[in-house]
Structure 1
């Protein structure tokens, strides 16, 4: 029997990988939409920073436990 599978994780449910990867993907998608919208220059200005933050978050979160 695998003892590590039965052990309870100490990570909170909100900090688990599945949910946080979805949040990071949503941030990347928001940055992409900000980049390709033709209306507000301020959104275009911060689109790269938003996508960069989402990408960094995704890389970090991918190391979290399941």
Structure 2
């Protein structure tokens, strides 16, 4: 099974690993959006993206392995 297929399967079965990876990606994306100096829209949405990733990480940390 390829990585993408196993990742999608984990998301659909509500497993912790893939959802934590997605939440971590959102947190990192929000931080990058916050620190970049080029696009005002990215800076404007950075707090919301970081917040969604953080709340998602807290929720999915209770999912089964």
Q: TM-score normalised by the shorter chain: which range applies?
A: 0.7 to 0.9
Q: Secondary structure at the match of 2:29?
A: helix
Q: Deviations over 1:13-45 (max 9, x none)?
A: 322001100100000000000000000111000
Which TM-score applies when normalising by structure 1? 0.79
Which TM-score applies when normalising by structure 2? 0.80
Unaligned runs of 5+ in 2: 1-8
CA root-mean-square deviation: 1.0
Q: Offset of 1:51 from its aligned partner?
A: 0.2
- Runs of 4+ displaced beyond 2 Å: none
Unaligned runs of 5+ in 1: 1-11
